[in-house]
Amino acid sequence: MTIELPEAMRAVRFHAEDRSLSLETVPVPRPGPGEVVVKVAACGICHSDLSQFDGHIPARFPAITPGHEASGTVAAVGEAVRHWNVGDRVVVAAGRACGNCQSCRLGGSIDDCEALEIMAFSYDGAWAEYVVTPAVSLIPVPDGVPMEQAAVLADAVSTPYGALETANLKMAESVGVWGLGGIGTHLVQLARVAGASPIIGLDPVAGVRERALKLGADFALDPLAEDTHDRIMEITGGRGLRAAFDCVGRTSTVAQANAAIGARGRVLLVGISGEPIELGREGTFLGRRHTVTGHLGYKMKHLAELVELVSRGRLDLTASVSAVLPLEEFAEGIRRLREHDGYPIRVLLRP
Ligand SMILES: [Zn+2]
Ligand SMILES: [Zn+2]
């Protein structure tokens, strides 16, 4: 049951009408039946947060608390919550089941929900001292995993991890990753853990390419160079890539990725740009059996598997935590992400 939670807390609030953000004092949420209140340890700043602030992702509410990449400790549990105790270290999944779709009505899990509600877009997120979430949206984090790294798992690592499953990636398959920001860099690391070979990272920024080479890419290419396509063909022995992950979502990158895959290759759309994209000649998809698949999000088991990989040292996320800023400095964190200041993988806020 509820332990003594304070009455008020600090939270960043996004106001849709004038697209403003401000640090405010708001009531601490109370857990309803089946819910848990988590004291937030760290929460990431993600490009999709910026998309909501800029209006590319339409705001659903006049005001909402951003932040969907959170870790923390259980502060209070609601009725009918059996598996969590106050003090448990957790990573908070960024979504909750809608409770109303066909799958939810038939008793389906959060993973099967057809209208998943995303934290910070459909309900208050974790740029705050406390966040309330369904108990089934939590995964335990062992003591050896730093809270900052656990927070990064909640989207920036788990979404690319889910994309590898969507791509049905096999050992020794060649992989290209377009866009080496938070998602793309983790895709390179995870593809390495998954046994992909060779792994080619593509990004116009030299420093970011260097980083990808340190984190597991075999080759790092500038997608704007004239010989990029030829280089990919050369590296793959003329066959082209088995899987191409587009973490940018623009016609230029999708077209380049589609042109670089081999027969029966697949392109995975992982990046969100909101732009219309051109897929090129229709005959390619027939003649060469190309597949283009969209990917979003992850399953609860993916989060649990990632906690396992990090806790055993299989996946090193020390480079992923680019900076940790106090909650008050949210504007500075947003600025660094927007301006690519230092090319952060993840800037985190600590309430
Ligand atoms: Zn995110
Ligand atoms: Zn549902």
Cβ-based neighbours of 222, under 8 Å, separated by 6 or more: 202, 203, 204, 206, 209, 228
- Find the 344 Cα to ligand 1 centroid distance in Å: 14
- What pLDDT does residue 12 have? 98
In CATH terms, the fold of domain 8-156+298-350 is Quinone Oxidoreductase; Chain A, domain 1 (3.90.180)
Separation of CA 43 and ligand 1 centre (Å)? 10
User: Ion ligand 2 — residues with CB under 5 Å?
Assistant: 97-98, 101, 104, 113, 115
What pLDDT is stored for residue 120 in this prediction? Answer: 97
**Nearest Cα to Cα of residue 72 among 16, 1, 128, 155:** 128
Ligand nearest to the CA of 103: 2
Q: How far is the CA of 97 from the centre of ligand 2 (A)?
A: 5
Residue 29 half-sphere exposure, CB side, CA atoms within 13 Å?
Answer: 25
pLDDT number for residue 3: 59
- CATH number of the domain at 168-294, please? 3.40.50.720
pLDDT at 8: 98
| The predicted structure's pLDDT at residue 344 | 93
Domain ranges of the chain: 8-156+298-350, 168-294
* Ligand that comes closest to the CA of residue 105: 2
Give the pLDDT score at 181: 92
**119 C-alpha to ligand 2 centroid (Å):** 14
CA of 72 to the centre of ligand 1 (A): 17
Q: What tens digit of pLDDT does each residue of 315-348 get?
A: 999 999 999 999 999 999 999 999 999 999 999 9
Give, in order, the Cα–Cα distances in Å from 135 to each of 4, 302, 310: 18, 17, 22
pLDDT in tens, 163-187: 999 999 999 999 999 999 999 999 9
- Encoded amino acid at 300, one letter: M
CA of 262 from ligand 1 middle (Å) equals 31
Ligand showing the shortest atom-to-Cα distance for residue 346: 1
At residue 156, what are phi and psi to the nearest 5 degrees?
-65, -25
Give the closest ligand to the alpha carbon of residue 51: 1
Ranges of residues in the chain whose predicted pLDDT is under 50: 1-2
Q: How far is the CA of 184 from the centre of ligand 2 (A)?
A: 29
Cα separation, 67 vs 48, whole angstroms:
10
Residue with tokens 């396992």: 308
Of the listed ligands, the closest to the CA of 108 is 2
Q: Which helix (H) or strand (E) holds 186?
A: helix 182-193
Question: Are 123 and 96 a contacting pair, CB within 8 Å?
Answer: yes
For residue 318, with 0-12 CB atoms within 10 Å meaning exposed, 13-18 middle and 19 or more buried, which class applies? exposed
